[in-house]
Structure 1
């Protein structure tokens, strides 16, 4: 009997779907996903408590004080420490001859980006040295009852560490290093150049008065700002940072 299909036979049909194989593949895929989730969860647990699994490193176990603060860059300068009656630290140089007195008008420390005018200050009613107005962050005070910068004896300049809203002129003073230079322009047109010999952080209750204000035969410069911890009850910092420098040269600008 003649068939009704072209090409002499029935059309070719696709093979029937293997339902059992499909179920098996789905089961294997779900098992693989569950295995990955289990491994990731285990890793997170171990990383969250490495000490429980013997994986904590010695570095993490060190006290905070033993941790390096900065892996790269120059080390922090060592602060000068001595009894209050010890003379100020001096750089290993020959001091320049002292000059006649002249009022300071501007201070510059190029490495720290300090460039500020200087204002004359005296004593407050409570007997302490006045400080520049707190609303002027870039102003330095010169204590006029001491030597002028470049004159024989210590010249004392004071500046704020910060104000209520921002850092102030001497905020980076603790970053100074021995050998740094400080320039002070005077009213007579001469700029006195000072070389740093030491930086000290002293508790305000044991301020080294003799070291800072005592008489000296050469021209010295002492910079003072606040340091230590801010005491919210008193409204003051606990320490002072003091930079000691000696005049090593001068030039007329």
Structure 2
């Protein structure tokens, strides 16, 4: 901000008077202080280390048609609008349940017991991840199929945060045949068995395979995986667990 002007006074010849020199020195000192504060604030925005000494980690992203280009950690792009559409239970094949919002996810093998929050597609076209300040929270794509309903239900969670492991820290331990359960708002419980678990490069994420519609009730558990790219502030891969209702 510019200083307010004062009434003009005759020019004073010779060296700068002591008072004016003092004001000049003070101005320089304040300028240095401001510079130091600015550098400190910028440095304070750097990546905090996790308990394991690594960078902060966020949940997966979910792809639209092309891979995400955002530098923010996320889940692959958003599921296409045609993925996991709302359907009635009568339209499905195999075991299925009527639509009901999920309430809690239980994965006994990796000690997960977590509540759900709704996830939506944000302005960037990506599925917004669950809040990073809650390490024991999973989200589901609320405009898609609910877990147990015919179609592909999408469940995403963080692998860790800037300070600690998060809800899906152990997701990579799941193997074919493992079971997990989703408690639902209608009082029922949907049990799923794992069919496969694979990691995919985010730049070549197979959107149709992961998010494509299915006639039976299936679930995808998604989190981040692979190496952490500090420049992009994101993981290089997504881990996807494929499962079906039993």
**SS of alignment partner, residue 210 of structure 2:** helix
Residues in 1 aligned to 2:206 and 2:187: alpha-carbon distance in whole angstroms:
33
Residues in 1 aligned to 2:242 and 2:236: alpha-carbon distance in whole angstroms:
20
Residues in 2 aligned to 1:111 and 1:147: alpha-carbon distance in whole angstroms:
25
Residues in 2 aligned to 1:182 and 1:146: alpha-carbon distance in whole angstroms:
20
Deviation at 1:96, TM superposition (A): 4.8
Unaligned 5+ runs, structure 1: 1-94, 249-253
1:90-146 deviation digits (Å, cap 9, x = unpaired) = xxxxx8521110000100000110110010110111000011011111100101121
**Which of the numbers 105, 113, 116 marks the counterpart of 2:114?**
116
**SS of alignment partner, residue 211 of structure 1:** helix
What residue in structure 1 maps to residue 177 of structure 2?
Answer: 179
Residues in 2 aligned to 1:220 and 1:112: alpha-carbon distance in whole angstroms:
20
Unaligned 5+ runs, structure 2: 1-92
TM-score (norm 1): 0.60
Map 1:1-253; keep pairs closer than 5 Å: 96-248=94-246
What is the Cα-based RMSD across aligned positions, in Å? 0.9
Question: Which sits farther off after the overlay, 190-199 or 95-104?
Answer: 95-104
Residues in 2 aligned to 1:183 and 1:243: alpha-carbon distance in whole angstroms:
14
**SS of alignment partner, residue 215 of structure 2:** coil
**SS of alignment partner, residue 167 of structure 1:** coil
Residues in 1 aligned to 2:210 and 2:122: alpha-carbon distance in whole angstroms:
18
**SS of alignment partner, residue 169 of structure 1:** coil
Provide the aligned length of Structure 1 versus Structure 2.
154
1:22-46 deviation digits (Å, cap 9, x = unpaired) = xxxxxxxxxxxxxxxxxxxxxxxxx
Residues in 2 aligned to 1:111 and 1:162: alpha-carbon distance in whole angstroms:
18
Residues in 2 aligned to 1:213 and 1:96: alpha-carbon distance in whole angstroms:
19
Deviation at 1:208, TM superposition (A): 1.1
Residues in 2 aligned to 1:145 and 1:203: alpha-carbon distance in whole angstroms:
25
